[in-house]
Structure 1
């Protein structure tokens, strides 16, 4: 790449990082799990639409409390050789439950890989060796899940973890819970984390 003639002072500064605050997340109770029975037909139909085994879907279902009136429910959405994704729905904790996708239209189909304390994460290998990854994460703001991170490690170069850190979305995350939200990549030992965390 050839250097241009314009002064570097003319280069636009980076946009400031958006800040997300994860509010305190209540503990999930045994009673919260009753929603899985109440909405069993809904989840069975979603499973059937995706051509998945009903028993596998049932075993994959989980419920998490997000607030005093909202629950998050997950179910297997797709499975490949070395990647998988889960659908996530926001649900009222009392009838009418009104299940609706937790992620926006552009992200709902691929789903996410994991949930922990207000933090949805997705991480997928480009191939079995794990030498290239793509990733994204969304945080619970108290009203919705919003995208906080996205990026990849670029080309597959033959060594686990990937060659580069190539974020396309970054943010600052403030977690109001006792245990800080941990990026999927940090938990799984992947090399890169895009957000800055503070308590």
Structure 2
């Protein structure tokens, strides 16, 4: 089955390819570090502990523009607390010397001060040693990949050769640094509260060829193309299509396109309520539709500590994408949110 692979290109591949430039931002990783820069050019850099791929981690956030100062946060993996006690104090040690305590925040996050953040960056991008100690637990931040990822941040934000660069500093004026880009604005439209209905077999027969005509390498739907296939549980999924009214003139068609061990993707198309015109494809990776918003949620691993989330908002004519985010180290207490696309969605009037 090739559908999940194609569908996951914009989501799963974002965590498995060396560099991806997307309409909604840039993602890059190298060894134990990764970075997601959103469409405003804010970059969030994530580094993990030395000995584990997905353990305790440090998030560095830097906005675009001249003279901006990065912020630093730390999240401890619960399994690190081997004495099963609550960590009441977390201290950062740089090259064997204490650099002070961190400030506890919400959802198990600890905040670094500005001097601590800058000292961490200076150490970890080279051969320095950065360790965090809390109670009887500790973890050492990996240096592997830090320089390459920080270089990517400098490149995206136009800092290479400037005094404020993380890597290749120089005497270029800070005025040459890329300015922050404003968030796109989406005006949400009112949507119908009419109940969805399952299309009849005759309606599906008439509509299927037009839906199939919208499919391409970026928008595939295997279960519509080849109905009657067994799913992951050995069962045959129903070949059902749902019509949901959007307003007096538009409707939303949806059907299951693919399913996997712990993910599934539904296709969504805009069409006129009379089902006479040509449908317009939105996505084949949708999870649900509610109140004018199509949502997608894709778990990259069965552990649930890596996932992607996307939203599309009805504006009265189309469903522009309003949100695209990577979730890392996600748990019941929260996780790192690394946006690739951010927008300002104005409430329907």
Q: Aligned partners of 1:134, 1:158: CA distance in 2, in Å?
A: 11
Q: Are 2:228 and 2:239, in contact at CA under 8 Å, matched by a contact in 1? A: no
Partner of 1:176: 348
Partner of 1:19: 185
Q: Which one of 60, 84, 92 corresponds to residue 272 of structure 2?
A: 92
Task: Select between 13-22 and 38-47 the one with higher mean Cα deviation.
Answer: 38-47
Q: Secondary structure at the match of 2:238?
A: helix
Q: Aligned partners of 1:123, 1:169: CA distance in 2, in Å?
A: 15
Distance apart, 1:159 and its partner CA:
4.8
Q: Do residues 166 (structure 1) and 332 (structure 2) align?
A: no
Q: Which structure has the bigger radius of gyration?
A: 2
Distance apart, 1:56 and its partner CA:
2.3
Q: Do residues 138 (structure 1) and 312 (structure 2) align?
A: yes
Given the two structures, how large is their TM-score scaled by the length of structure 2? Answer: 0.42
Could you tell me which runs of 5 or more consecutive residues in structure 1 were left unpaired when the two chains were aligned: 178-199
Q: Are 1:21 and 1:174, in contact at CA under 8 Å, matched by a contact in 2? A: yes
Distance apart, 1:122 and its partner CA:
0.7
Q: Aligned partners of 2:225, 2:264: CA distance in 1, in Å?
A: 17
Q: Aligned partners of 1:95, 1:130: CA distance in 2, in Å?
A: 39
Partner of 1:73: 253
- How far does the alpha carbon of each residue in 1:92-111 deviate from its partner, in whole angstroms, 9 at most, with x for none? 1115243332x1xxxx3x42
Q: Secondary structure at the match of 1:40?
A: helix
Q: Do residues 33 (structure 1) and 197 (structure 2) align?
A: yes
- How far does the alpha carbon of each residue in 1:142-167 deviate from its partner, in whole angstroms, 9 at most, with x for none? 0011011112124xx58568752211
Given the two structures, how large is their TM-score scaled by the length of structure 1? Answer: 0.69
Q: Aligned partners of 2:228, 2:338: CA distance in 1, in Å?
A: 34
Distance apart, 1:116 and its partner CA:
0.8
Distance apart, 1:134 and its partner CA:
1.2
How many equivalent pairs are there? 166
Question: Aligned-residue CA RMSD in angstroms?
Answer: 3.0
Q: Do residues 128 (structure 1) and 293 (structure 2) align?
A: no
Q: Are 1:131 and 1:161, in contact at CA under 8 Å, matched by a contact in 2? A: no
Q: Aligned partners of 2:335, 2:173: CA distance in 1, in Å?
A: 31
Q: Which one of 209, 232, 238 corresponds to residue 57 of structure 1?
A: 238
Could you tell me which runs of 5 or more consecutive residues in structure 2 were left unpaired when the two chains were aligned: 1-165, 213-220, 231-235
